[in-house]
Amino acid sequence: MTRKHFGTDGIRGKVGEGPITPEFVLKLGWATGKVLGGGGCGKVLIGKDTRISGYMFESALQAGLSAAGVDIGLLGPMPTPGIAYLTRTFHACAGIVISASHNPYDDNGIKFFSANGTKLPDDVEHAIEAELDKPLICNASADLGKATRIEDAAGRYIEFCKSSFPSYKSLRGMKIVLDCANGATYHIAPSVFTELGAEVVAIGDQPDGLNINADIGSTHPATLQATVKAEKADFGIAFDGDGDRVLMVDNLGNLIDGDELLYIIAMHSQQRDRLNGGVVGTLMTNLGLEHALQRENIPFLRANVGDRYVMEQLLANDWSLGGENSGHIICLNRTSTGDGIIAALQVLTAMVYSGKTLSELLSGMTKYPQTLLNVRMEKRVDVMDHPLIKSAMTAAEAELADTGRILLRASGTEPLIRVMVEGQDARLVDSVAAQLVDSVNQVLSSAN
């Protein structure tokens, strides 16, 4: 069944433009209530990041769910993985997240978690879309849903995060810079790391509704890198706007991406005989990680880009560790979805057990030069099947021969064509990437 509204990670777009409008989101709340509200459903939880439009969409969802007769628990600002966790522990029938993740403040979106804290199955999303085509019929007054605010939501999630770090270990003696992206971790992450004993310097912890992800956070790590060096910190940790991604910075200001964090977690898990199976990456995962894991006899699989596809491979193989180079890391032995704080704490666990720095923990992995370029589309264009692109890809693959690989794909969350080239020769990689970008721009120009 073709999806009309749902993308790879819920529904997302520009605020005020379809479908991210108050009218649609109200109807979406109602449709969700109709699909999930039967069978003695307890309540649906709603959480959000710090975008100013979150107030509006929270109210719209609340009204729609109430009209369908479903009770609502309001979590307020909360990291996406925190909403997944609380959905499980409150035995709610679903969790709804109001967030556009790493996108700018004038975007927003709606995504869902099942009662198990995982993404909704396809058949449930299809059922919600089918309900959206029906007229909204409000329940009788006696059968409307009620809303309550869950006052201790932040404290519950903070304690859960801390529980993923060894209780007999401490972060005392460590100075950490935390970049909260002016997003949903602003009131969570500083407490977690401080209560575990670290000296914390927080940046990006003053959200105003408009500054989420604005030149800060995991998509803009330069501020964190500079702050780590200025503060003479041991390392830095950057989250994105909704807290499901994490990147780190070592004491010299060098960026540690998701592939490298996966390597550290995998190696520590294997050394303690706690790595269940292998590691799942994506088509974007650096060859250096794959080869490093191969040397340690750790199985590695590539999934399509997107955390839902990583999750599918993990579940299909009964493995527990996977992720993306963007920093979306899934530790199924700890929680049910990608969680930036939980992933960072697994890296810190490896540090305190080994007594090594981040750079020392990475000594067994060498990344291949990789260039990733984004080409913005003014309107959606099917670039992939264009003859010019096919010809350019064939030429690029011949130029790289057996020394690298190419990936060209449309983003599932933004109007972008992503061009990735990877290989042993950095100059050749840059040259091939530039040629492919030129070809994509030619196709887009001819379509406008």
Residues marked active site are found at: 101
State how far the Cα of 312 lies from the Cα of 302, in Å rounded to an integer: 11
AA letter at 214: A
SS3 state at 88: helix
Distance of CA 212 to the CA centre of its chain: 15
Question: Cα 218–222–226 angle (5° rounding)?
Answer: 125
SS3 state at 46: strand
Helix (H) / strand (E) element for 184: namely none
State how far the Cα of 360 lies from the Cα of 357, in Å rounded to an integer: 5
Q: Is 230 left (phi over 0), alpha (psi -120 to 50) or beta?
A: alpha
Whether 215 contacts 190, CB under 8 Å: no
Residue with tokens 């970049």: 179
State how far the Cα of 344 lies from the Cα of 334, in Å rounded to an integer: 12
Whether 124 contacts 113, CB under 8 Å: no
Helix (H) / strand (E) element for 253: namely none
State how far the Cα of 175 lies from the Cα of 73, in Å rounded to an integer: 36
Distance of CA 17 to the CA centre of its chain: 23
- Tally the residues of the chain: 448
Phi and psi torsions of 347, nearest 5°: -65, -45
Distances (CA, A) of 322 to 102, 261, 280, 287, 291: 20, 10, 4, 15, 16
